[in-house]
Structure 1
Amino acid sequence: MAHPPIEDTRDVDFEEIEAAPPPETLAELHERHQRETLTLNRYLYNQSLQMEHMLLSAPDLQGLLEILLVNLPRHFGFSAAELWLHDPEQVLCGLLPGGDRYGQYLQLHPDVFVMQDLYDLEPDVALVDAADRRMFEVLKADDRIDQALLLPLLDNGRMMGSLHCGICDSHFAVGEAEEAHIAHLASVISLCFKNAVSRQQVSRLTMIDPLTQISNLRGFEKDIAREIARSRRANQPISVLMLEIDEYDDLYRHYGDITGQFLVKKISERISSDLRKSDYLARLNGARLAILVPGSSEVMAGDIAERIRADIEDFAVDDSRGANLQVTLSVGYVCWEPQRFPAVDMVQLARQIESAADKALAAARDQGGNRVALNRLTTLMV
């Protein structure tokens, strides 16, 4: 197929657009780029680069929150950091079972207006002082601050959260260049947060027991690894309780699959209602459950174990057929205190804690069940 000849346009005069700037040569363009320099606070620039690396390396949503609320204020020398998140359908509430550990520094709001009210029509980085009415709305848990740096977290223009940094220096100031750099950091935080939530939602599906809607074995192992590391940093004790429904195999054979699973579900719900929001309940298999209790001493863990055992002993499960089922629990528990038993290998430590709790559970079963047994860590091979 023949193609029409290509016209030579070298001598053709193109119509210029009225009021358009004259075209630049490559040399002129390069010279203009060289002149367009930006003066930026070096400390802020270097700290921001390091913070971006930390944010992008966050392993999950919990890790990202730890960076924003704990590491970020230390990194920049702020007195505190506070995060407000828009959560109209309580999705984040379900993804952050231990979020209450941050107290007032982490707030989930069903109404986005409370965050939008902190900014102008077009949300942008803002530095507010005592004369600004917004100082009475943010960082109420910290009365030492003189100023607050407000960072809107946006997703395609939609407000998804607001990060507030408390500043004790009344002379703290940022110029136009610094504001633009902080806005860039806010966009990185927004992107990391959005991706972390998406990954957490997908990951959660593989770590939830479909019957009880609590963590499964995989979820428990992830929770214990994270909480042991946090306990080590905070130098606080942590306890693990292993629980099992006594003579469950006989009950399962007698009543069948449907009643057996119904029983496990009801017992799990009952135990969950007795726990704090910061505690973690998991179904490891069959009729075996585990409870992770951060910040719990040996005495406190023993009290929790005994309270749960007594409560289930008195708990009658309605089988929806006019009969009540009553079961008992065997409970074994162990406590790790970082100060008494220093450890380096957190993975190996988690295995030893689980093994010690399993042995305590076995001891409770061997003594006839419906009782609590303690096993103490002695020498840690970590």
Structure 2
Amino acid sequence: MQEEIEGAPPARSSVEFHARRLAEQVSVNRYLYLQTLQMEHMLLEPDSMQGLLEVLLVSLPRHYGFRIAELWLLDPEESLAELIVGGERYGPYLQLHRDAFEMQELYPLEPDIQLIDATDSRMFEVLKFERGIDQALLLPLLVDGRLLGSLHIGMEENSLAFGDEEEDLLAHLSLLIARCLSRAILHQQVTQLTLLDPLTRISNLRGFERDIAREIARARRANQPVSVLLIDVDEYDELHDHYGEVRGHFVLKKVAERISSDLRATDMLARLARARLAVLLPACNESRGEDIAERIRQDIDDFAIDDGRGAVLQVTLSVGMVTWEPQHYPAVDMEQLAKQIETVSKKALGDARARGGNCTAVSRLAPLLV
């Protein structure tokens, strides 16, 4: 005998439930629905922050036919600043905020999707670097009720169907973006531990191999050159044997810090081996790369390293350089190209060392080999 609970709705049979499910329908803008289905696949594909940022800030507005996208991320401990490689590419459209106050001010007490126009004062806070924006769609990025960030999409007036059903669809997209961001951040934190050199806190060999593969692919798409500097600290073994491991490591750290200060925000520095470093220079031709190499070499030659124990240490660098220019050396096999760049840069470095060190040597890719 079934006991009925007082005040509870009447029990329904499975047939009634099935009929009710079939009868329930929602009408939603077909274009927005189909584009969102495709966007879900695009969001779920990358597992790195770099890949996800590319989807959110480049692919998403193009996919929907919007003008621009802007992403604010909460970074109270400035840990994201260290995790995101190449974020400078997005300029003001990627912002890291230490305080959540500005983000929270964009939304009601319970953050939800907002469609605002030029009469709304919040338009002075978001997408302020973009002109000709009639409306902005604000998507709060929430994980477990916590505001992780805020995505702002700029568009022309009436370019988005926006009823209750469309708002629910975008709310689903907002939740998915937040989850993907949370996953990518966690993945990046774990990956970062395996891609960093523990001594100098710059990329290690594995990190450099990942970076050069990514930059070669980007250079090919953009038809831009990319240069690689391979650097040895001259006579490091003698310095290590004479002064000991502690001072030898201290010198390496100081040299890495000094070289980092000479580089552009988009350049990448890595430690490949004991006293061997590499610099990846995106969008950099041979002439400019040689200038950068010489500036680095000269700077270290003039750099007096105070070890804090009364001794001043000085070292010099041997630098080998190679440049790949897609328009001059077309390549199909990117993996083979990366190996070719590595081989030629080692030859250039060998030439610099053969000259007695403290100099820069340039080698060129052979077109038939690429």
Same fold (TM over 0.5): yes
Alignment of 1:192-341 (within 5 A): 192-341=180-329
Q: Which structure 1 segments of 5+ residues have no match?
A: 1-9
Q: Distance in 2 between matches of 1:381 and 1:147?
A: 52
8 Å CA contact 1:207–1:215 kept in 2: the answer is: yes
Q: Distance in 1 between matches of 2:353 and 2:49?
A: 38
State the Cα deviation string for residues 37-93 of structure 1 (Å, max 9, x = none): 111222211211111111111031111111111111111111111110000001100
Q: TM-score, normalised by structure 1?
A: 0.93
Q: 1:45 aligns with which of 33, 36, 40?
A: 33
Q: Distance in 2 between matches of 1:365 and 1:204?
A: 32
2:167 is matched with which residue? 179
8 Å CA contact 2:29–2:161 kept in 1: the answer is: no
* More moved, 230-239 vs 76-85: 230-239
Are 2:95 and 1:100 aligned? Answer: no
Q: 1:354 aligns with which of 333, 342, 351?
A: 342
Are 2:22 and 1:34 aligned? Answer: yes
8 Å CA contact 1:242–1:357 kept in 2: the answer is: yes
Q: 2:109 aligns with which of 118, 121, 142?
A: 121
Taking a change above 3 Å as real, the CA distance of residues 380 and 83 of structure 1, as seen in their structure-2 partners, is farther
Q: TM-score, normalised by structure 2?
A: 0.96
Q: Distance in 1 between matches of 2:34 and 2:220?
A: 29
Q: Distance in 2 between matches of 1:233 and 1:345?
A: 14
Taking a change above 3 Å as real, the CA distance of residues 118 and 263 of structure 1, as seen in their structure-2 partners, is same
1:17 is matched with which residue? 6
8 Å CA contact 1:211–1:265 kept in 2: the answer is: yes
2:125 is matched with which residue? 137
Q: Distance in 2 between matches of 1:144 and 1:349?
A: 43
8 Å CA contact 1:97–1:277 kept in 2: the answer is: no
8 Å CA contact 1:282–1:291 kept in 2: the answer is: yes
1:153 is matched with which residue? 141
State the Cα deviation string for residues 7-57 of structure 1 (Å, max 9, x = none): xxx3x7x35423x32222222222221121111222211211111111111
Q: Distance in 1 between matches of 2:217 and 2:156?
A: 30
Identity of paired residues, percent? Answer: 61
Amino acid aligned to 1:41: N
Amino acid aligned to 1:356: V
Q: Does the residue aligned with 1:74 lie in a helix, a strand or coil? A: helix
Q: Distance in 2 between matches of 1:336 and 1:117?
A: 47
8 Å CA contact 1:349–1:380 kept in 2: the answer is: no
1:212: Cα distance to partner? 0.5
1:163 is matched with which residue? 151
Amino acid aligned to 2:281: V
8 Å CA contact 2:73–2:97 kept in 1: the answer is: yes
State the Cα deviation string for residues 115-168 of structure 1 (Å, max 9, x = none): 111111111111111111111111122102211111110111110001111112
Q: Distance in 2 between matches of 1:189 and 1:142?
A: 23
1:284: Cα distance to partner? 0.4
Q: Distance in 1 between matches of 2:336 and 2:102?
A: 45
Q: Which structure 2 segments of 5+ residues have no match?
A: none
Q: Distance in 2 between matches of 1:34 and 1:97?
A: 48
8 Å CA contact 1:151–1:163 kept in 2: the answer is: yes
State the Cα deviation string for residues 285-333 of structure 1 (Å, max 9, x = none): 1110001111112121111101000000011111222121111101111
Are 2:323 and 1:374 aligned? Answer: no
Q: Distance in 2 between matches of 1:345 and 1:268?
A: 32
1:182: Cα distance to partner? 0.9
Q: Distance in 2 between matches of 1:230 and 1:381?
A: 21
Which structure would you say has the larger Rg?
1
1:112 is matched with which residue? 100
Q: Distance in 1 between matches of 2:117 and 2:139?
A: 15
* More moved, 29-38 vs 101-110: 29-38
Q: Distance in 2 between matches of 1:74 and 1:60?
A: 21
Amino acid aligned to 1:323: A
Q: Does the residue aligned with 1:331 lie in a helix, a strand or coil? A: strand
* More moved, 363-372 vs 167-176: 167-176
State the Cα deviation string for residues 194-253 of structure 1 (Å, max 9, x = none): 111111111111111111011110111111111221222222221111111111122222
Alignment: residue pair count: 370
Taking a change above 3 Å as real, the CA distance of residues 120 and 380 of structure 1, as seen in their structure-2 partners, is farther
